[in-house]
Chains A and B, each alone.
Chain A
Amino acid sequence: RKEVEQDPGPFNVPEGATVAFNCTYSNSASQSFFWYRQDCRKEPKLLMSVYSSGNEDGRFTAQLNRASQYISLLIRDSKLSDSATYLCVVTSGYSTLTFGKGTMLLVSP
């Protein structure tokens, strides 16, 4: 099993739709979790950290399920500008950071 897995997509959704991505991880000792957004040919940018109790930032909600070892990202009321690749990052131990390969989201008018 790969350390961090994401569905590569693309997820094609219309504007205004709600879309959710999952990211599964294999190391049960993982400690920190993040979602990044990456636009084409640009660097990854931090979207949000993922806390055990779940957290929300505007239209974005992140959740952690330790029992099933996955994190999720929910985007409500999708905008055209949400089109990007979404990367999950899992850290365990001092140096071990593992990036998923990303899920591509395409929001259409």
Chain B
Amino acid sequence: DVKVTQSSRYLVKRTGEKVFLECVQDMDHENMFWYRQDPGLGLRLIYFSYDVKMKEKGDIPEGYSVSREKKERFSLILESASTNQTSMYLCASRVVRDQPQHFGDGTRLSIL
């Protein structure tokens, strides 16, 4: 079974802090993704990476950056956290294009 692990299930941070969300997959998948999910808005793609050191902006990249130094790990960074970044963050990976994604458990992030 594919295992996608997110570093925290719940996280509380303060406005202005730099926040790191980590995601690790154990299946040698090439593509990795970060989403946020908010009520009524569905899943929205923040960034994705199709290979090590590669990244592309998704639909809502503002206020976020990412890092993929190793194939198995994809990090999402909130440069200066704001209250409107309170959300459920989901990491996903897939083998290659046209294959389904597999999701981590999600991180519920609250910015106070």
Residues of A at under 8 Å CB distance from B? 31-32, 34, 41-46, 49, 87, 89, 91, 94-95, 97, 99-102
Contacts and interface: CB of A to CB of B under 8 A. Distances in A.
Contacts of B99: 32
A41 B106 CA distance: 9
Contacts of B106: 42-43
A42 B9 CA distance: 11
Contact of B42 (A41, A46, A102): A102
Contacts of A101: 40-42
A41 B50 CA distance: 27
B56 A95 contact: yes
Given A44-B103, A99-B42, A31 B98 contact: yes
28 contacts: A32-B98, A32-B99, A42-B106, A43-B90, A43-B103, A43-B105, A43-B106, A44-B43, A44-B90, A44-B103, A45-B103, A46-B100, A46-B102, A49-B100, A87-B42, A91-B98, A94-B50, A94-B97, A95-B48, A95-B50, A95-B56, A97-B33, A97-B45, A99-B42, A99-B43, A100-B42, A101-B40, A101-B42
